[in-house]
Amino acid sequence: MRLLIQCLCFCLLPLLAAAAPPYQMPAGAADHEAPDIVAGYRAIFTCSAHFFAGRPLNDILKVELVDVQGKGFPDPVIDEKRQLVLASDPNNTYKRIAAYRPDMGCTLLPPHWQLSDVPRLPNVAYAPAPDVSALAFPSGDKVNLPADGVDPSYPQLASVLTKAFDGVTHAKVPGTVTTAVLVIKRDKQNHYKLIAERYRPGFGIHSGYRTWSTAKGISAALLAIASQQGLLDLDKPVSIPEWPEGDPRRQITYQQLMRMSSGLYSGGANSAAVYFGGQDVVSAATGTPLEVKPGTRWKYANNDTLLLMRSLRHLLADDLRYLRFPYDELLHPLGMYHTRMEVDHAGNFIASSQVYTTARDLARFGIFLDQDGVHQGKRLLPEGWIQFVSTPAPARPVVAGEWGYGAQFWLLDTMPEVPKGTYTTFGNKGQYVTVVPGHDLVIVRTGVDPNGIEYKQDRLVVDVLKALKQIP
């Protein structure tokens, strides 16, 4: 685990008066085609992809920014010296700035901040990551795979990988773009072995992508760790300081938020004002009213996840501890040194989507889940928590042939041939960490699928199992 060595510009005090009012949209929703949102999208994606993942601008334009190309927007400008990205709309009306800190990732400045405000961003610095190149995966990065990325003991996986990258086989409509596929199998000695691994050109073991909503699974694990440490009770009402005594929202429980059953008004999956507009998490997530009684309606809502992490910050009552919590309690213990949970300008984790990581780090997370939340003999997650997140949410009845939903995880065992108990994360553009209990398998697929084209992870799972002769 890396230790904190310094805290720079930790400016989480009330913001100074600015020339413009804070940018706040109801529920954090915004028009994805609005020029300020598109400019912000281009700034934050270029920042993370370049400074953290080490990717060149010419490929970022073709991959990360493909859905917002061809709209007349000028190319983002990368300021290598100051580690900034500047982007604007075609009329240069909206100028967006994303700032990178090595141990924090990138943060998009809100519209009412200027370049001179960058030093006000929260910044916690850690010692360099340990060199794990000589340690065997998953503790380290040493993997004995041939050039084609397939363990010779499982040659039948070669065709599965080829199909996974062909853009057609596992696509609802042709056009998926896979960036990585990893298959991890546990042996009889309880060792996890990477038996298949392949990447799209431009991606690799230390260069990754945004998790999108796969971040929700990581956030859920953090809440579970807090529960294991006695900080909260998942059965009790969530603690949100912005909600006054007597507010009906104070009856919402942690479990209901985990199961997307808060009953709150939200933008659903639309949090563009937070993700790409620079709005703070708290104003977006805590300012919406109840629409229905908590627990009676299932509605996928980014804000439900954001509320969970807002509560964690409140319960910790220590902003520095909050910013360290994911790294000290989960990521670094698991060896996920190439993962960054990015924050808004006020130091709130945008934990429903904005995590940047690698496929191997996601595999480490999947292994941890497959071990029932136990790592190196130490229980980090409460006993029974994995069963909880992989059990159908009461407000979302199981429908055969449709993905089910548990608690911040999706359920695949409603799909044909998928083994019972199989559950997965699911991030936009095809980010999946899938656990197949009873089959000793973790399957990771990451992608940059164009908008509107969905990857069928359940079919990849079935193809892997058939190749391994674990199902007929």
Question: Given a cut of 90, is residue 8 above it in pLDDT?
Answer: no
What band does 17 get if pLDDT is binned at 50, 70 and 90?
A: very low
Residues 6+ positions from 322 with CB-CB distance below 8 Å: 312, 313, 316, 347
Residue 240 located in a structural domain: no
pLDDT for 472 equals 80
pLDDT for 78 equals 98
Question: Given a cut of 60, is residue 43 above it in pLDDT?
Answer: yes
Domain extent, residue 86, equals 4-126
Amino acid at 265: Y
Residue 17 located in a structural domain: yes
pLDDT for 415 equals 98
Residues 6+ positions from 147 with CB-CB distance below 8 Å: none
Residue 106 located in a structural domain: yes
Radius of gyration of the chain (CA): 21
Question: Given a cut of 60, is residue 6 above it in pLDDT?
Answer: no
- In angstroms, the CA 21 to CA 24 distance is 9
* Residue bearing the bigger pLDDT, 12 or 23: 23
Q: What is the pLDDT of residues 70-107, one digit of tens each?
A: 999 999 999 999 999 999 999 999 999 999 999 999 99
Residue 307 located in a structural domain: no
Residue 256 located in a structural domain: no
pLDDT for 12 equals 38
- In angstroms, the CA 238 to CA 240 distance is 6
The number of distinct structural domains making up the chain is 1
Q: What is the pLDDT of residues 191-211, one digit of tens each?
A: 999 999 999 999 999 999 999
Residue 233 located in a structural domain: no
59 in helix, strand or coil?
A: helix
Please state the pTM of the whole predicted model.
0.95
Residue 122 located in a structural domain: yes
- 193 phi and psi angles, rounded to 5 deg: -120, 135
Q: What is the pLDDT of residues 454-465, one digit of tens each?
A: 999 999 999 999
Q: What is the largest CA-CA distance in the chain?
A: 66
- Upper half-sphere CA count for residue 294 (Cβ side, 13 Å): 20
Percentages helix, strand, coil for the chain (3-state, rounded to 5) are: 30, 20, 55
DSSP assignment of 86-141? EEE-TTS--EEEEEEETTTEEEEPPTT--GGGGGGS-EEEEPPPP--TTSBTTTSS
What band does 21 get if pLDDT is binned at 50, 70 and 90?
A: confident
pLDDT for 19 equals 52
Q: What percent of the chain has pLDDT over 90?
A: 93
Residue 56 located in a structural domain: yes
CB 99 within 8 A of CB 109: yes
Q: What is the pLDDT of residues 309-324, one digit of tens each?
A: 999 999 999 999 999 9
pLDDT for 4 equals 36
